[in-house]
């Protein structure tokens, strides 16, 4: 893995939310049980496959869990520091998440965070689709080669790769499972500053 973001200038950073910027007590296993989603299936894709009435019900269960988790969420160490660094360097920031707009608004209010673009699952078909990252690039007005994405899950990395955006895997728990899908791996958010800071000269 390289040390720096060489070749192109970083003009924007796209962050995943849950597990990347915030630690949220969202319990996917419990939600899956409640809505009878098979454990190996992804929740959103499962819900989308349901018929209307069942689909609406499952979505309500999911959103209410997301809202509760958002209220109890905690920022990971280094988030504010990284945001200040990016602001100082005039690097734009976006959130691309599979979470709902309702939960994301709660998180941003609670932790006093603001972003130049915010793409939730209501805005574009969610990751691992490249679509929300492409939308982020358009909303930020930044070419994809000048963007970098940060996430904790394979969907973040797969979506980034499909969109032609370089990615950083953040693994707070030391999970290295997906690192072959990422351009860099860090074990704390602060480390991305080192990647984004241009080499002198």
Please give the residue ranges that form the binding site for Mg ion (CB under 5 A). 16, 18-19, 152-153
Q: Measured from the CB of residue 16, what is the shortest distance to Mg ion in angstroms?
A: 4
- The span from the CA of 76 to the CA of 85, in Å, is 16
Q: Cβ closer to Mg ion: 115 or 153?
A: 153
Q: What is the DSSP letter of 200?
A: P
Q: 3-state DSSP: the chain helix, strand, coil percent, rounded to 5?
A: 45, 15, 40
Taking the alpha carbons at both ends of the chain, their separation in whole angstroms is 21
Q: Cβ closer to Mg ion: 146 or 192?
A: 192
Q: Measured from the CB of residue 99, what is the shortest distance to Mg ion in angstroms?
A: 9
Q: Measured from the CB of residue 35, what is the shortest distance to Mg ion in angstroms?
A: 20
10 Å CB burial of residue 129 (0-12, 13-18, 19+) is middle
Looking at 56-172, which runs of residues are DSSP E strands? 74-75, 92-96, 117-119, 147-151, 166-170
Give the residue nearest to Mg ion (CB): 19
- All residues at 6 or more sequence positions from 54 whose CB lies less than 8 Å from its CB, including other chains: none
Q: Measured from the CB of residue 107, what is the shortest distance to Mg ion in angstroms?
A: 12
Q: Measured from the CB of residue 41, what is the shortest distance to Mg ion in angstroms?
A: 17
Q: Cβ closer to Mg ion: 18 or 183?
A: 18
Q: Cβ closer to Mg ion: 19 or 126?
A: 19
Q: What is the DSSP letter of 18?
A: B
Strands 22-23 and 74-75: antiparallel
Q: Cβ closer to Mg ion: 58 or 159?
A: 159
């Amino acid at each position: 893995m390289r040390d720096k973001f060489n070749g192109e200038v970083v003009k924007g950073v796209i962050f995943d939310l849950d597990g990347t910027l915030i630690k949220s007590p969202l319990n996917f296993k419990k939600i899956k049980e409640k809505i009878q989603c098979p454990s190996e299936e992804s929740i959103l894709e499962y819900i989308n496959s349901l018929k209307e009435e069942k689909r609406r019900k499952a979505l309500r269960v999911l959103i209410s869990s997301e809202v509760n988790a958002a209220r109890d969420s905690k920022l990971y160490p280094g988030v504010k520091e990284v945001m200040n660094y990016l602001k100082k360097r005039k690097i734009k920031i976006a959130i691309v998440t599979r979470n709902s707009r309702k939960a994301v608004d709660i998180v941003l209010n609670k932790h006093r965070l603001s972003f130049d673009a915010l793409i939730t699952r209501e805005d574009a078909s969610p990751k691992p689709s490249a679509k929300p990252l492409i939308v982020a690039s358009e909303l930020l007005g930044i070419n994809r080669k000048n963007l970098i994405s940060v996430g904790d899950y394979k969907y973040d990395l797969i979506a980034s790769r499909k969109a032609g955006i370089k990615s950083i895997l953040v693994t707070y728990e030391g999970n290295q499972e997906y690192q072959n899908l990422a351009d860099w791996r860090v074990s704390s958010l602060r480390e991305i500053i080192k990647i984004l800071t241009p080499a002198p000269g």
